[in-house]
Structure 1
């Protein structure tokens, strides 16, 4: 049962990764593309990490740290990329 749940989480994570990448091919704005890619990538990566956590429960401190770092890093990187893509930088 745990293996099935683990593989389901990993499969959902892979699906989110491909789904976020597919938004890059649309005709929407760059900010919309970056937002959808960063959200899907964050959810996909966290789902894969959760699936690995179910497979390897003894490694929970490292995998929990990886989930927290993914949540923080991808959120910050999304804001930085959106700021850079918006073209509102002021060089002083």
Structure 2
């Protein structure tokens, strides 16, 4: 039963990875594309690592550290991208 749940989590994670790439083909803004890609990649990666956690319980501390790192890294990266985007918008409004 654990194997089925583990493989389901890994499959869901891979599904999220592919689902996050589809907005890249759309005509929305770059920031929307990056946001949807980063959210889907984060959820997909966490689901895959959780599936591995169920499959390899001996590596629990390392895999939990990986889940925490994924969550923190992608959250901080989103804030940095938003800040850089707003700083670029503010600089473009200044007269030259």
Deviation readout 1:8-49 (Å, 9 max, x if unpaired): 000000000111011111101111111101110100000000
What stretches of structure 2 of length at least 5 have no aligned partner? 92-96
With structure 2 as the length reference, what TM-score do the two structures score?
0.86
Within a 5 Å distance, the mapping from 1:1-92 to structure 2 comes to 1-86=1-86, 87-88=88-89
**CA separation in 1, counterparts of 2:21 and 2:42?**
12
Q: Per-residue deviation at 1:88?
A: 3.3
Tell me the matched-pair count. Answer: 90
Decide which structure has the larger Cα Rg and report it.
2
What stretches of structure 1 of length at least 5 have no aligned partner? none
